[in-house]
Structure 1
Amino acid sequence: MATPRTSPTASSAPAVARLRGWLQGRDLAVFRSVADRHWPGADPLLPRLSRSANHGLLWFGTAAGIAVLGSSARSRRAALRGVASLAVASAAINTVGKGAVRRDRPILDAVPVMRQLKRQPVTTSFPSGHAASAAAFATGVALESKGWGAVVAPVAAAVAASRVYTGVHYPSDVLAGAALGIGAAFALRGVVPTRGQLPAPGRPPGEAPALPAGKDLVVVVNRESGTATATASLVREALPMATVMEVAPADLPASFADAADRGRALGVCGGDGTVNLAAAVAATHGMPLAVFPGGTLNHFAYDLGIETVHDTAAALTAGDAIRVDLGRFRPGPKGADGADGYFLNAFSLGVYPELVNTREHWSPRIGGWSAGVLAAFHVLRGQRPLEAEFQGRRRPLWLVFVGNGLFRRVGPNPGRRHNLADGLLDVRVIHGGRGPALRLLAAAVAGPLTRSPVHAAVRRRRVRIGGLAPGTPYAYDGEVAHSGTELMIDKLPEALTVYCPMPV
């Protein structure tokens, strides 16, 4: 008589059940061990910490603190990535996690009353949303800034532990939530890369003298620019042999000329407008430029990979430098008297110059970010399209943007140049028509190098814009000036040598 055969699925079912029972038993044992043990100092702290993390309030406040106290682009990116990672984790928990395993909350009989939360959660226990948010935020911050990540990690761990300590979750709920939060932060990084994941910008090497401790370096500081005054103190500490001059904006041109005559290299500390002035002087004198980010945005410095005084100081000590292109424009017809102007980042016509003017008017009173929002609302509500001849045809234009090098996407947003010496102009045009705000949004979504009835983006080596009304405002590197009837825009390839840290 044949022996009945048992399917592998049937034979493994008891083993799976035994393993599940053992895990649940261990989970309950650890929960009861935590409840029975006295944790010195934890009773007044952990329940409050657990409540403070409700709805992510603790992490939003922490992100604001990092952005303000850090006062650097890396800190702001860390804060933003932490919040974005938290949002992804929360969405995953609320849409999938809580409905996948409907586990009852622990029974609180073993948990001392003083530890218990006054308002008990009513959702299912698995996984822990608080642990997921804490882990996602801490991981997101650490992916952009290891220093801030080390500060946030103990707080995140304490929040996760508080969920078991107060009796609202089993340990496995917390571990699963933390794993989900970490996964959410890395998933977001896969879609929106961190700055460290991006390829290094194009770096044709330049010749520059090594200046240990800043010897023979003269640094001009715009004392009214962003964080320049505080940055100047860091420059003096890092480069004690450098000459550091803090001057008013009106004195910058004369100070740069004087610094170029006194040193072997020219240093600048300020925003993009200040760096623009220094770059023109350095290129004219054929000397290397050392950039210390001290403005509000510092686009050029960050595209070089310079975020701190230490980055520039290390490049000066080693004599590491690269060559970059310098954008050039003539604010009048060919052959007319008029000095050439230069730009490191971008040149623009249309709504942007008026936006810059309005922002600069309000920023001393309400801050740069708030002034930018107010300026955008004011300009897009009341501005009319610019009438100009572009590519041989007269047309209404809301915006003409000419970038010094091709701006590429960082995640969903165009924002960084991978090659600072590509010899190309990144030309983007928003055509005239109703709804400038919607047209600008459509252009942003469309991205670079596209053509549509709303937006066009092309690569050029030179651009001519004619038929302008005399006195038409234009902007370059955040500064505003006024044109004649014609603008000629091109590039000086590899015209500027800049100290820049080399990738390891």
Structure 2
Amino acid sequence: MGDQRSRTAVHEVKAGLRRLDHDVFAAVAGADNPLLDAVIPRLTTAANYSRLWIGAAGAMALTGKPALQRAATRGLVSLACTSLVANQLAKRSWRRERPGHRSVPLARRIRRYPRSSSFPSGHSASAAAFAVGAAVEHTPVGAGLGALAGLVGFSRVYTGAHYPGDVVAGWGLGTLIAVIGGALVPPPTARTDVSTEPLYTDHPGRPDGEGLVLVVNPASGDGTGERVLTHVRKALPAAEIVALSPEDDVVEVLESAAQRAEVLGVAGGDGTVATAAGIALRAGTPLAVFPAGTFNHFAKQMGCATTEQTVAAVRAGTLEMVDVVSLDGDTTLLNTASIGAYPQFVTTRERYEGKIGKTLASAVAAWKVLKEDQAVRIRYDNTTVTTSLFFLGNSVYRPTGFAPVDRDSVGDGLLDVRILEIGRPFARLRITLSLLTGRLGQSPLYHELHRPVFRVEVLGEPTPVAHDGEVGDARSSAEFVSHYRVLPVYRPR
């Protein structure tokens, strides 16, 4: 008895909707508007075979603007998928007769009425798919196209090609497919780059290097340290130079030098420079960095890629105030820190990028690194993730994604944190595909944060935290704090 009542209620609802559909169509068909009669049939004809949308896509592509070109591409892909579903699946599943040309006045009839099922409206489905797909990439253009898609749908009713219900169903189908496409392949996320003007400060010029105490490891950088030592002796004869021996404790030598220095100089790799930076900061002494390591990331960032450039800055007395990051209050870093296999990822990427390009090299490196069992489970804020690739930078690096290269400055007061999550199904494959398609920034497995303080807890066995090219101690937790523009460092203007 209950089933029969339910069937009766459903039947009544369907009958009511059909009556409403026919009544609305009759109202539109009975309208008398010469202006619409002149315009609307031409519009619906222009939309035949999606010519209207293909033309719009071509115009968008010709602008040369990447956002509009992506919008055109996504719109056409959404349209193609929707057309396939509407014509080959939906129309074959639901058969409905069309209103026909006799239902409307002669002035608004189109030349040829389709014989396929009226439900759903293919024109309306394609129009909605193109407009919504374009809107995923470029909202303003998508809004304009949406209005045009609405007119196309109306034209199908006005010319007697479809009932209003067919049009509504077509709009819904096209919108659904475009939205699903946006979820599966998200658009690029606009990133607001942090841009700050460097803060320069003047210091007495030291033409002969008076007051500079330079600590240098002659053996660093395959002999680069020895060349720096020789050059500084000639260029800055008043400077005191301390040459490290293998038996020396670097920290003790740097601390002793800082006590008597007006300027603390250091020639070594990034790890040694970071140690000197912490000591100079505590001593209230400016730092002069001479490039004598393998990569010299910080020296290059400061415009001191050569010894001559550092010498010129010392002679002129020009300094920049830079950020320094502390790790658990007892370790100083100037460039980066990492947990897991990030250093291995960078090494593998650099090995291949000269041959196959950075994008493909990143994908290869990620695949090789992620297939190895180096996962670490961590918690930050209220989030728990499993990762083997964790990167933290002093100031915001560019570009976004997991191949940061450089920074605009070392003075924005922020930490740049990037994490690849590998604890979800098919994570390795999804990350690799995201890297190949340039969509890593939109992947739910990629996390990018910018903040002045970052605390992370390791769930499980303590894990080493590498920093500035050095393998650090194993830790169960780590607190990174950015100290905003606290250290004066010599650099050329």
Contact persistence 1:201–1:417 (CA under 8 A): no
Indicate the residue corresponding to 1:393 in structure 2. 383
Does structure 1 residue 239 correspond to structure 2 residue 236?
yes
The answer to whether the aligner puts 1:500 opposite 2:488 as a matched pair is no
1:348/1:401 contact within 8 Å kept: yes
User: Distance between the aligned counterparts of 1:493 and 1:458, measured in 2?
Assistant: 17
How far apart are residue 251 of structure 1 and its match?
1.9
In the other structure, the counterpart of 1:479 is 470
Instruction: Report what 2:414 is aligned to.
Output: 424
Residue 204 (structure 2) pairs with residue 221 (structure 1): no
Give, in whole Å, the separation in 1 of the partners of 2:321 and 2:196. Answer: 11
- Per-residue displacement from partner, 1:146-200 (whole Å, max 9, x unpaired)? xxxxxxxxxxxxxxxxxxxxxxxxxxxxxxxxxxxxxxxxxxxxxxxxxxxxxx9
CA deviations 1:353-380 (Å, max 9, x no partner) are 677999xxxxxxxxxxxxxxxx999865
Q: 1:220 to 1:378 in 2, by over 3 A?
A: farther
Structure 1 position 284, deviation (Å): 0.4
Superposed, 1:367-382 pairs within 5 Å as 382=372
2:203 corresponds to 1:208: yes
SS in structure 2 of the partner of residue 480 of structure 1: coil
The aligned residue for residue 456 of structure 1 is 447
8 Å contact kept, 1:430–1:443: no
Larger mean Cα displacement after TM superposition, 295-304 or 220-229? 220-229
Distance 1:378 1:270, change over 3 A: farther
C-alpha separation in 2, matches of 1:344 and 1:394: 27
Specify whether residues 392 and 341 from structure 1 end up closer, same or farther in structure 2 by C-alpha distance, changes over 3 A only.
same
* Residues 440-455 of structure 1 mapped to structure 2, 5 A cutoff: 442=434, 446=438, 450-455=441-446
- Contact 1:215/1:242, CA 8 A, preserved across alignment: yes
Secondary structure, aligned partner of 1:225: coil
Paired with 2:316 and 2:207, the residues of 1 have a C-alpha distance of: 8
Quote the offset at 1:246 in angstroms.
1.7
Residue 236 of structure 1 and its aligned partner are, at CA, apart by 1.8
More off after superposition, 258-267 vs 432-441: 432-441
223 and 452 in structure 1: CA distance in 2 versus 1, 3 angstrom threshold: same
Structure 1 residue 235, shift from structure 2 partner:
1.9
1:414–1:261 Cα change, 3 Å: same
| More displaced 10-residue stretch of structure 1: 236-245 or 399-408 | 236-245
Please give the secondary structure, in 2, of the residue aligned with 1:382. Answer: coil
486-495 or 453-462, larger mean C-alpha shift: 453-462
Q: Distance in 1 between matches of 2:439 and 2:287?
A: 32
Q: Please give the residue correspondences for 1:186-201 in structure 2 after superposition, counting only pairs within 5 Å.
A: none
Q: State the structure with more CA Rg.
A: 2
Amino acid at match of 1:230: R
2:460 aligned partner:
469
Tell me the CA shift for residue 287 of structure 1: 0.5
Q: Is the 8 A contact 2:266 2:273 kept in 1?
A: yes
The CA distance in 2 between the partners of 1:436 and 1:229, in whole Å, is: 45
Aligned equivalent of 1:193: none
Task: Give how far 1:383 is off.
Answer: 3.3
Amino acid at match of 1:273: G
- Shift in alpha-carbon separation, 1:234–1:442, aligned structure 2, 3 A: farther
- Aligned-residue offset at 1:212: 1.4
Q: How does 1:73-222 map to 2 (within 5 A)?
A: 202-222=197-217
Counterparts of 1:304 and 1:453 in 2: how far apart (Å)? 35
Give the match for residue 285 of structure 1.
283
1:436 CA displacement: 5.5
Cα shift readout 1:378-431 (whole Å, capped 9, x = no counterpart):
865533211111331222112221110011249x96312112110111111111
Matched, 1:402 2:392: yes
For the residues of structure 2 that align with 1:340 and 1:317, how far apart are their CA atoms? 32
> Structure 1 residue 216: deviation in Å?
1.4
Q: Distance in 1 between matches of 2:469 and 2:220?
A: 12
1:267 corresponding residue in structure 2: 265
| Matches of 1:211 and 1:263, distance apart in 2 | 13
Q: CA deviation at 1:454?
A: 3.0
Structure 2: distance between partners of 1:307 and 1:487: 31
Which amino acid in the other structure matches residue 452 of structure 2? Answer: R
Percentage of identical aligned residues: 36
Does the residue aligned with 2:257 lie in a helix, a strand or coil?
Answer: helix
Question: What is the root-mean-square deviation of aligned Cα atoms in Å?
Answer: 3.4
| Residues 196 and 412 in structure 2, CA contact (< 8 A), matched pair in contact too | no
From 399, 404, 407, give the equivalent of 1:414.
404
Q: Contact 2:309 / 2:492 at 8 angstroms: preserved in 1?
A: yes
SS of corresponding position for 2:450: strand
- Asked if structure 1 preserves the Cα contact closer than 8 Å seen for 2:376 and 2:388, the reply is yes
For residues 386 and 371 of structure 2, what CA distance do their matches in structure 1 show?
A: 17
Q: CA deviation at 1:224?
A: 3.5
Q: Which runs of 5+ in 2 are unaligned?
A: 1-194, 349-364
1:493 deviates by 0.7
Cα distance, 1:441 vs. partner?
8.6
Corresponding residue for residue 39 of structure 2: none
The residue identity in structure 2 corresponding to 1:263 is: A
